[in-house]
Homo-oligomer: A and B are copies of this chain.
Amino acid sequence: MENKEPITVVIIEDDETIRTGYTYLINANKNYKVLNAYSSVEDALTHLAEDKPQVILLDIELPGIKGIDALPKIKTILPKTHIIMLTVYDSEETVFEALTKGAAGYLTKSNNTEKIIDAIQEVVDGGAPMSTNIAKIVIRSFHKNQNSPLTKRETEILEQVANGKSRSKIAKQMFIDLETVKSHIKNIYVKLNVHSREDAIKEAKNNKYI
């Protein structure tokens, strides 16, 4: 542990107290080194190519370019850098947007500050550090509604429809007649009170039936 190269970190955070606080905290540990701490994305982008940090701590609520919009820009410059999002709010859409854009971790600032070191180590090790409230949001997004009005077969078929399959393809694939598929879809539409594929998919996804 002694003579290993420290893990390099860059912080992008507009609140000076938090910024210097994290910098101090991280630098206090010899295994980690804060290369630079920027107060804006604009500022950071002009220096990141030089810094080449292994990990970036990126605030979401920033003036100017938002942290979320910075993600793809940073990824372009430094594709291998692990980006950990920092936030005070845990808005569901923001969480998912950040994750789809390649965030490796997601922490709320209320988090025990010492945890930040663990999180940095974790992303470097290929992990995905998350605050418990973020984990909850992510896991819940997977949960399906257990009270679906659709039968097992109907759900199966609607899933295929949602995958863009035509009725005839579904029929072939499930080894049933096209008429059977049509019949199921008719029943699905009645149960969901819709009159089109589009609305059926929308309704089913909204209620997590599929």
Contact = CB atoms under 8 A, between A and B. Distances in A.
How many chain copies?
2
A153 interface: no
A146 B79 contact: yes
Interface stretch (A32-40, A41-49, A53-61, A160-168): A160-168
Contacts of A161: 164
B128 A136 contact: yes
Contact of A143 (B102, B136, B198): B102
Nearest to A95: B142
A74 B39 CA distance: 51
A166 to B, nearest CB: 7
Contacts of A127: 132-133, 135-136
A122 interface: yes
Interface string A67-85: 0000010011001000000
Contact of A162 (B96, B122, B164): B164
Nearest to A100: B144
A142 B99 contact: yes
A4 interface: no
Contacts of A135: 127-130, 135
Interface string A110-144: 00000000000010011111101101101110111
